Structure 1
Amino acid sequence: MEIIRPLPETLRPVTAHDSIGVTARPTFRSDSVAVTTLRVAPGGEIGTHPAPVPQLLLITAGSGQVRSGTDLWQEVTVGDTVQWSAGESHTTRSASGLTAIAIEFTTPL
Structure 2
Amino acid sequence: MKIYKFSKENGKKVEKYQSYLATYVKMIHTNEAATIGYMYIEEEGTVGYHEAPIPQLFIVAEGEGWVTGENQKRISIKRGEAVLWEKGEWHTSGSETGMTAIVIQSEELHPETFMERKKHA
TM-score between the two structures when normalised by the length of structure 1: 0.69
The structure with the larger Rg is 2
Task: Tell me which protein shows more strand as a share of its residues.
Answer: 1
Letter in 2 for 1:93: G
Aligned to 1:5: none
**Structure 2 match to 1:79:** 80
Deviation at 1:71, TM superposition (A): 3.5
Q: Which runs of 4+ in 1 moved over 3 A?
A: none
Bigger relative contact order, structure 1 or 2 (CA pairs below 8 A, ≥6 apart)? 2
Identity of aligned residues (%): 30
Q: How does 1:1-109 map to 2 (within 5 A)?
A: 32-107=33-108, 109=110
CA shift for structure 1 position 107:
3.3
CA distance in 2: counterparts of 1:33 and 1:97, whole angstroms: 26
Unaligned runs of 5+ in 2: 1-31, 111-121
What RMSD, in angstroms, separates the aligned Cα atoms of the two structures?
Answer: 1.6
Taking the aligned partners of 1:57 and 1:78, their CA distance within structure 2 comes to: 11
**Which amino acid in the other structure matches residue 100 of structure 2?**
T
89 and 53 in structure 1: CA distance in 2 versus 1, 3 angstrom threshold: same
- How far apart are the structure 2 equivalents of 1:106 and 1:83? 12
> Do the aligned partners of residues 94 and 106 (structure 1) sit closer, same or farther apart at CA in structure 2, a change above 3 Å counting?
same
Q: Distance in 1 between matches of 2:108 and 2:85?
A: 14
Segments of 5+ residues of structure 1 without an aligned counterpart are 1-30
Distance 1:97 1:75 in 2: 13
Task: Give the letter aligned to residue 72 of structure 1.
Answer: K
Give, as a single letter, the amino acid of the residue that structure 1 aligns with 2:94: R
2:72–2:91 Cα contact (<8 Å) kept: no
